[in-house]
Structure 1
C-alpha cells in the first residue's frame, strides 16, 4: 500500500480533514496539534473525533501525523519556554490518545547558543518527563536542516537524544527530505549510502515517517526552504527513487510543499503515477 498525503488545516475538525484528504486522493494526512506559531488549542470535540474514527476505519487510512507547534522548544535557554514545551506535549499526547492510529512529530529544538551538549540532555529530560505519563502514541524526532542553533542537524545528534530516553519503544524518527538534503546528506546521488549511515547510527527500525519535500537550495545549504515536488534541487527522478526505495516504500509519506489544495491533489496524483508496483 502506498500511503501518501499532505498537511491539512485542523481548524474544521478531524472529520473535515479526513473528507478533504479523500477528495485530494490521499490516504494519510498531517495536521498541527494547535496554532503552529503560538500555543492556543481548540477545545476537544468528542463527537467529531468519534465520527472521524469511523471514517478512518471505513476508508482504511494509514497512520496520521500530528505536528507540534514551531513555538515548542524543549531545550530553550529560558525555563518558562521549556516548561511550555513540556506542558504542550503532555496535553497534545493526552488528546491524541483518542485517535485510532496517529504519531506525534516535533522539531527537537534550538539550543540558543547553549550548545548541543546542553541542548541534547534538556530534550531527553523533557521526553522522559513527558513519556512517564503513559500512552500509546509514538513520538518522532524530525531530522533538521541545521539552520541557526537547531538540534537534530545530524543523525548523531538524534541518536544522542534517543540514547538518553528511557522509554525507547515510544520513540522514532521522521525523515524530512528537504531537511536532510539541506543538512548535507546526499539522498539524490547516494540514497543507499545515506540510508546505510542512518541504519548504522540510529537504526532503520526507528524510521517511521517521511516528510516528502523538494528543496529550493543546494545540498548542505542549511536553509530549510521547501519546494514543490520536481521543481527543486532534489528533482522528480530523485523523489521517485525515494518513494520506490525498498527500505522506504512501506512508510507513510506526508507532503509539506508550498501548495494549496489543488496543488496537493496534483502532486499526490503525480506521485501515484511514479510509484512502482511491488
Structure 2
C-alpha cells in the first residue's frame, strides 16, 4: 500500500487535520509545528492531540510529519538566532511527545558565510542540546537544494551532522525529491545510483520519509522551486519509479506541491494509480 499525504494546516486543530486527510484519500499528513515564517505557536491542546491519536490508530495511518518553522536556523552566525532555534526545537519536541507515531523534520539551516564545517558543528550542537533521553519522536534532517549557504546540499554534509549527534537511534533523514534533483542528484535516470550513494554515505536505514515534489527547474539548478507532480522537470514516469522502488516503496510520502486540497486529492489518486501492489 502506498502511504501518502500532503501538507495540512493545524489552525483548526489536530483532529481536524486527520479528518481532512481521510477526506482526500490520504493515510498520513504533514503540518507546521508553528508559524512557518515566525515563531508563534498555538495553545497546547492535549485532548485534541489524543483525539487525533485515536483516529490515526483506528485508520492505520502511517507516521505523521511535524515540520519545524523555516525561521529555525541552528547554524546562524548570530547567537540570538541560534538560541531561538534551540528554544523552538526544544519546545516542539516536548509538545510532540503527546502525539503517537510522529516524526519531526527540519531544514538544517544556512551557515551564512561561516563555512559548511562550522555550520555542521553548530547544527549537531543544537541537536545534542534539544534531544533528550526517552524521546519518542524521531528527528529528521531534510535534504536541501544547495541554495545560498544551505547546509545539507549533499549526502556527505548530512552524514557529517549525524555523526556528531549522540542520540543516533532517534535521528534520520527526509529526502525531498525536488531538493535532491535541484541539488544535482539524477533521480530521473539514475535513481539506483543515487540511492546506492545514499546508502553508502548515510545508510538507507536512516531514510524515514520522502517529500514528493516535482521541480520547476532543471537538475542542478540549486533553486528549490516545487512543481505539481508530473508538471515539472522530474516528470510522472520518474515518480512511478520512485514510489515503486524497493528501497522507497514502504516509506511515507508527503506532498508539498503548489496545490489546494482538491489538487492534493488528485495527486494522491494519480500516485496511487501508479503504485504497483506486490
Does the pair score TM above 0.5?
yes
Are 2:198 and 1:198 aligned?
Answer: yes
Q: CA deviation at 1:257?
A: 0.2
Cα pair 2:93 2:131 within 8 Å, conserved: no
Q: Say which SS state the counterpart of residue 31 (structure 1) adopts.
A: strand
Return the alpha-carbon distance in structure 2 between the equivalents of residues 48 and 205 of structure 1: 32
| Number of the residue aligned with 2:276 | 276
Return the alpha-carbon distance in structure 2 between the equivalents of residues 120 and 225 of structure 1: 24
Cα pair 2:215 2:226 within 8 Å, conserved: yes
Q: CA deviation at 1:133?
A: 5.6
| Number of the residue aligned with 1:174 | 174
Are 2:9 and 1:9 aligned?
Answer: yes
Q: CA deviation at 1:142?
A: 0.1
Return the alpha-carbon distance in structure 1 between the equivalents of residues 241 and 259 of structure 2: 22
Equivalent residue runs for 1:16-165 within 5 Å = 16-132=16-132, 134-165=134-165
Return the alpha-carbon distance in structure 1 between the equivalents of residues 141 and 75 of structure 2: 13
Q: Any unmatched runs of 5+ in structure 1?
A: none
RMSD: 0.7
C-alpha distance after superposition, 1:107-128 (max 9, x if no partner): 0000001111110000001111
C-alpha distance after superposition, 1:69-90 (max 9, x if no partner): 0000000110000000001001
Q: CA deviation at 1:155?
A: 0.3
Q: Any unmatched runs of 5+ in structure 2?
A: none
Q: TM-score by structure 1 length?
A: 0.99
Q: CA deviation at 1:153?
A: 0.1
Return the alpha-carbon distance in structure 2 between the equivalents of residues 134 and 121 of structure 1: 24
Q: CA deviation at 1:58?
A: 1.2
Aligned pair count reads 278
Q: Say which SS state the counterpart of residue 17 (structure 2) adopts.
A: helix
Return the alpha-carbon distance in structure 1 between the equivalents of residues 134 and 148 of structure 2: 33
| Number of the residue aligned with 2:218 | 218
Q: TM-score by structure 2 length?
A: 0.99
| Number of the residue aligned with 2:188 | 188
Q: CA deviation at 1:132?
A: 3.4
| Number of the residue aligned with 2:252 | 252
C-alpha distance after superposition, 1:115-164 (max 9, x if no partner): 11110000001111111364111000000000000000000000000110
